Amino acid sequence: MPENTIKPSEVSEVLLRQLQGIDNSLKFDEVGTVLQVSDGVARIYGLRNAEANELLQFENGIMGTVMNLEEDNVGAVLLGPTDQIKEGMIVKRTKRIASINVGESMLGRVIDPLGVPLDGRGEIGGELFEMPLERKAPGVIFRQPVTEPLQT
């Protein structure tokens, strides 16, 4: 018998070792298609399980927030340039409710709707807490009274 022969048991051991390193889990993303864009709102078909106030990501990276749930489509408010969203674009659910980090270090800062600094003063540090963008307001009894009118 030649010395370079491979035993069947060796082949099966090598195959088993190789197969153990394979990630065979499947990951599904729920995606939809932009039907229409008008006045900063995109109508999207195919996101059956989208939730109110959920963040959506368009194929070009722009984000949106689900504001209107209908039987066959959802309406999403765009959180970026509306001229970059076109009919037929793919939209993916993030399964995250729209929220931003808030804290004392946010005072005096200019941010976008997702909490990204726009004022050129760098990242926002300090202790931050995640808060949903849309939430129930505290009752009148728990709020500080207005002592100085704001002219508009």
Q: How buried is 49 (Cβ within 10 angstroms: 0-12 exposed, 13-18 middle, 19+ buried)?
A: exposed
CA angle 118, 133, 84 (to 5 degrees): 55
| pLDDT band (50, 70, 90) for residue 2 | low
What is the token pair recorded at 124? Answer: 């926002």
pLDDT in tens, 118-130: 999 998 888 888 9
Q: Which helix (H) or strand (E) holds 102?
A: strand 99-102
DSSP 60: T
User: In the prediction, which pLDDT does 125 show?
Assistant: 85
Asked if 77 contacts 43 with a C-beta cutoff of 8 angstroms, the reply is no
The Cα 57–Cα 44 span in angstroms is: 12
Q: Name the pairing type of β-strands 41-45 and 31-38.
A: antiparallel
**Overall pTM > 0.85:** no
The mean pLDDT of 58-86, rounded to a whole number, is 95
Nearest to 65 by CA among 82, 51, 49: 51
Q: Categorize the per-residue pLDDT at 21 as very low, low, confident or very high, splitting at 50, 70 and 90.
A: confident
* Residue 3, pLDDT score: 66
Residue type, 104: E
Q: Residue 96 has which token pair?
A: 């995250």
Domains and CATH numbers, the chain: 31-97 (2.40.30.20), 99-144 (no CATH)
State residue 56's pLDDT score.
97
Angle 41-68-48 from CA coordinates, rounded to 5°: 110
